[in-house]
Amino acid sequence: MRRESESGLPVEPVYGPRALAGWDPAERLGEPGAYPFTRGVHPTMYTGRPWTMRQYAGFGTAAESNARYRQLIAHGTAGLSVAFDLPTQMGHDSDAPIAHGEVGKVGVAIDSVDDMRVLLAGIPLDRVSTSMTINAPAALLLLLYQLVAEEEGVSASLLTGTIQNDILKEYIARGTYIFPPKPSLRLTADIFRYCRAEIPRWNTISVSGYHMAEAGASPVQEIAFTLADGVEYVRTAVAAGMDVDDFAPRVSFFFVARTTLLEEVAKFRAARRIWARVMREEFGARDPKSMMLRFHTQTAGVQLTAQQPEVNLVRVAVQGLAAVLGGTQSLHTNSFDEAIALPTERSARLALRTQQVLAHETDVTATVDPFAGSYAVERMTDDVEAAAVELMRRVGELGGAVAAIEQGFQKGEIERNAYRIAQETDAGERVVVGVNRFRLDEEEPYEPLRVDPGIEVGQTERLARLRAERDGTAVDSALGALEEAAEGEGNVLYPMRDALRARATVGEVCGVLREVWGEYVPPDVF
């Protein structure tokens, strides 16, 4: 029986030489570390050293998250990945009425430089790479990170890490936006300029397909819409007067890894090839680093189940293997209990151990791109590439990523695919072990990690003390300078940094920008 891939593309039961008839290895593959980077962005890939093992963590107070980060580092994590709570992601302080009930729930609450100082206490910022999953207020959290590092005597020139800073996917799939697209893209360009001058080793954006996949995007939709967003960011920076080779090497990407291993490997290889061609042919990039699609991968949270949660350990291992075989630069493996609650220390450690087994107990690090020349994977790579390029063409016909967002195109396409998946699952055509097949009559009890609701009270008290202790006149002056910059054309990160140094809060800084730039209201088209 003929099968289809997650993207609806045909998967043949047998592939042979005819699958690659007329196929030119030199054109389609190249060498590892060379254009078009199908085989990976480095000549040696994991034979030199393994990928960066990151674990995404953050919950409750800054002190609780700091303790978890120290545990992860002690267990062998090479890079931190910080999760922020929803009020922080939306630019609200913990004592704002809209934040009630959400403080510390899905990430750590960060209201000011005081909290960031606690979050990073005892962590060697000159040796640990830190990724921060933050978008609309990304500039603020990056500046707070820089301020704390400098307090500890670590020069900004030594800091390495990534801010997600991908606002376009928020309009498409996730919803934690603040400002309308135009000022949001201006802020993105300001971050590019600031980091080139002040934090040169920092990755200024991680263009994310992960959240689109979690919302229901197919693999083809995931890379097509993500790369289209990447094109929009590059165009914005070029239009602002920046040379493409001055900022493009610091652009990175963030994808999901599903259990459909073969298509996922093909997806990663196709995405590298598309990006290399776009950067060279459309933007005239000359630096090979500008053409390299470097990416972080997270295993698919949406595929984890609350039923029989231990089975998620198997899913995560397969997903992690797909990411590694696809050539990821860094990887987060989800914990088996994430469909129930925040991960416990034990489950987070097991997730990290999964990566360590892949790196040290298998032979996947022994050779570069082991699927190169595979009839099945090479054909699937070509098929995924062709479908993604066609979808990117449709986005272009609508006027580009922002214009397509304003017309609801990407969101509508993803929602239709999500509906298809739900129908197939409900009908039993798509097997989900433990959910619609191989079920237990009675689930075994599991005790999840719970966040103390008293955290909100504690954060509110910390904010009250901060406002009482700080120099209010200095804060007002700094916020006034930020407002003036936002109304003009100067880089807003410099007055923003001054305001945060004076102990202005995240909510206060975002409040100034809300007054000047307004807030985004999505079109009611669905």
Exposure b/e, 260-271, CB count within 10 A at least 16 = b: bbbbbbbbbbbb
Query: Above 90 in pLDDT, residue 450?
Result: no
Q: Which two tokens stand for residue 487?
A: 């109304």
Sign of CA dihedral 103, 104, 106, 111: positive
Query: Above 80 in pLDDT, residue 88?
Result: yes
As for how many domains the chain has, the answer is: 1
More confident residue, 79 or 8: 8
pTM assigned to the model = 0.93
Dist. CA 133–CA 333, nearest whole Å: 15
The residues near 66 (Cβ < 8 Å, ≥ 6 apart) are 118, 119, 120, 121, 122, 123
Query: Above 90 in pLDDT, residue 472?
Result: yes
Average pLDDT rounded to a whole number, residues 388-413: 96
494 and 193 in contact (C-beta within 8 Å)?
no
Residue 306, CB-side half-sphere exposure with 13 Å CA sphere: 8
Query: Above 80 in pLDDT, residue 449?
Result: no
Of 231, 243, 250, give the one whose Cα is nearest residue 286.
243
Quick check: is 471 in a domain? no
Quick check: is 61 in a domain? yes
40 and 333 in contact (C-beta within 8 Å)?
no
The CA distances from residue 482 to 71, 373, 377, 382, in Å, are 38, 55, 52, 48
The CA distances from residue 358 to 50, 235, 267, in Å, are 10, 38, 20
More confident residue, 523 or 234: 234
Quick check: is 452 in a domain? no
Average pLDDT rounded to a whole number, residues 52-80: 88
Query: Quick one: how far is CA 232 from the chain centroid?
Result: 17
Average pLDDT rounded to a whole number, residues 165-177: 95
Query: Above 80 in pLDDT, residue 473?
Result: yes
pLDDT in tens, 476-501: 999 999 999 999 999 999 999 999 99
CA 206, 209, 210 angle in degrees (round to 5)? Answer: 95
Quick check: is 525 in a domain? no
The secondary structure of 297-349 as a DSSP string is: EEE-GGG--SSSTTHHHHHHHHHHHHHHHTT-SEEEPPPTTTTTSBPPHHHHH
CATH of the domain at 234: 3.20.20.240
Q: What is the pLDDT of residue 225?
A: 98
Q: What is the pLDDT of residue 186?
A: 96
The residues near 57 (Cβ < 8 Å, ≥ 6 apart) are 65, 68, 69, 72, 80, 81, 82, 83, 343, 348
The CA distances from residue 12 to 3, 4, 151, 379, in Å, are 7, 8, 59, 10
User: Which helix (H) or strand (E) is 358 found in, with range?
Assistant: helix 345-360
Dist. CA 322–CA 142, nearest whole Å: 31
Q: Is the peptide bond before 36 cis (omega within 30 degrees of 0)?
A: yes
First to last CA, the chain: 36
Quick check: is 354 in a domain? yes
Q: What is the pLDDT of residue 524?
A: 62
Average pLDDT rounded to a whole number, residues 142-156: 97
Quick check: is 342 in a domain? yes
CA 29, 35, 38 angle in degrees (round to 5)? Answer: 40
The CA distances from residue 157 to 120, 392, 452, in Å, are 18, 36, 38
Q: Which two tokens stand for residue 410?
A: 């990407």
Q: What is the pLDDT of residue 1?
A: 55
Residue 526: pLDDT band with limits 50, 70, 90: very low
Query: Above 90 in pLDDT, residue 390?
Result: yes
Looking at every residue in the chain, the average pLDDT score rounds to 95
Q: What is the pLDDT of residue 43?
A: 97
Quick check: is 482 in a domain? no
Quick check: is 446 in a domain? no
Q: What is the pLDDT of residue 208?
A: 97
Query: Above 90 in pLDDT, residue 56?
Result: no
Average pLDDT rounded to a whole number, residues 313-339: 97
Residue 236: pLDDT band with limits 50, 70, 90: very high
Q: Which domain holds residue 258?
A: 3-10+23-426
